[in-house]
Amino acid sequence: MLRQGITGLTRVSRLLRVGANSRPALSGGIRLYSKAASNAALKFADDAALETHTDTEAAAREQTVTRAAATSSPSEVIGSSTSALQNAYAENTGFGTRPIYLDMQATTPTDPRVLDTMLKFYTGLYGNPHSNTHAYGWETNKEVENARKNVANVINADPKEIIFTSGATESNNMVLKGVPRFYKRSKKHIITTRTEHKCVLEAARAMVNEGFDVTFLNVDNEGLVNLKELEEAIRPDTCLVSVMAVNNEIGVMQPLKEIGSICKKHKVYFHTDAAQAYGKVPIDVNEMNIDLLSVSSHKIYGPKGAGAVFVRRRPRVRLDPIFSGGGQERGLRSGTLPPPLVAGFGEAARLVVQENDADIAHIKRLSEKLTKGLLSIPDTSLNGSAEHRYPGCVNVSFAYVEGESLLMAMRDIALSSGSACTSASLEPSYVLHAIGKDDALAHSSIRFGIGRFTTEEEVEYVVDAISKRVKFLRELSPLWEMVQEGIDLNSIEWSGH
């Protein structure tokens, strides 16, 4: 396979040199290069992973077997320190035999303490929390309400303002559809941004089909919304402004407090999708004048399938429910709650408060190490604001390297080229386009996610591996060769086919 890749790349180089101004030659050459680079990347990934991990795997297996023999459950290896949690995570995932996990924006591993909290609901605490005529329902409901309190504490909300859902997608749909529908007689305008999560954008577009006007605000080259443009976009019939707290692809943090002040001034409800911010960056719904907020459990080391939406009670925010049923959750979200998931979510929320200082310091330190190492590679750039950014999300473009080829060459590291919800698409990231990146740079971007269980050794390995494999792929690239020889790629008439 590697020989086929090299042969293809040699042919590409010949095509590019002979016909630098020939559209058919360039078009064919680029297609051949992409295919050849992918083949070479796959072969390199297999060889590099085998060579680099031989000793690491043997040591990891030995440690895992030794420790597993002395440990009967995850809870027994869990101490109060972050290092103990990191060790437990390494053991439970079999570090050395599975890829290093750096895709924390897609999901986070379940904290073993969360799992321990959930297990009792699959044995003794199996009552329906909405059954209020016997002890089985009472005891389960007590646990649900304790979880509600923990979830509320993270954002300084009243527990009565927390509505449990199946996740942030449902929460966002509840808000983007429920609020406009309730106020549709007098309020027919919604404002959001072009870099929101897909579920917000699609929900907003669905409201256009119901007769609402939607303004999609641009962001600047750092990914930040322009506050003046936001305020100017507000109309007398604006019912809702929805701006995400932390972007899921580039980690940019929006100025929530300033946006909240603008919305309060104009008496417009302010919603933020905080799936990537909840429990990671400070959020106070009262200080920031946030009226509605969406969160997800599995982004904070909790179980998948649980989320919540904060709905302010004073002054009261009204919305039409999107589910019809028994009227659970203050009549806003009908359906029986899943106590194991809700309790796990509550424990995860409790832990983000307890571990907050340690998590922030740990993630910031590793992020700085990772970012410094990646940006030391020639022709790499950080996507999004360096200042207004959640450090656990690092999005970097590697010029003259196809991102998909790099991912294939990094099969020993779990990474992403963008949102997990749109990763099946081969189109360049709409978020990177929105901040001014061209197709080439958008296609060459990789997202790195650092979390509670990420280790310094993993970061060091990733920086070293990325450096070697970017170098390898660039050496195969005729474009990189042309740049090194001083050829201005912008002077070439590229084919549009």
β-pairing, 413-414 with 100-101?
A: parallel
Measured in residues, the chain has a length of 497
Selected catalytic residue, list 199, 239, 393, 421 = 421
Looking at residue 216, its amino acid is F
Taking a C-beta distance cutoff of 8 angstroms, is the pair 339, 121 a contact?
Answer: yes
Report the alpha-carbon angle 145-146-149, nearest 5: 90
The two three-digit tokens of residue 476, written as one number: 């195969």
β-pairing, 292-296 with 269-273?
A: parallel
Between CA 151 and CA 145 the distance in angstroms is 10
Q: What ranges in 332-398 are assigned the alpha helix state H? A: 339-354, 356-375
Cα–Cα distances (Å) from 223 to 251, 279, 335, 373, in that order, read 9, 22, 38, 23
Q: Measured in Å, how far apart are the chain's first and last C-alpha atoms?
A: 27
Q: Which residues pair with 163 in a beta bridge?
A: 309
Between CA 177 and CA 169 the distance in angstroms is 12
* Strand locations in 169-245 (E): 189-193, 213-217, 238-242
Buried b (16+ CB within 10 A) or exposed e, 168-200: bbbbbbbbbbbbbbebbeebbbbbbbebbbebb
Between CA 216 and CA 199 the distance in angstroms is 14
The two three-digit tokens of residue 270, written as one number: 């302010």
SS3 120: helix
393 given a catalytic annotation: no
Between CA 44 and CA 56 the distance in angstroms is 18
Between CA 337 and CA 346 the distance in angstroms is 13
DSSP single-letter state for residue 326: S
Contacts of 164 (CB under 8 A, 6+ apart): 144, 148, 306, 307, 308, 329, 333, 337, 342, 345
Report the alpha-carbon angle 261-263-264, nearest 5: 65
SS3 396: strand
Report the alpha-carbon angle 161-162-168, nearest 5: 135
Active site residues: 421
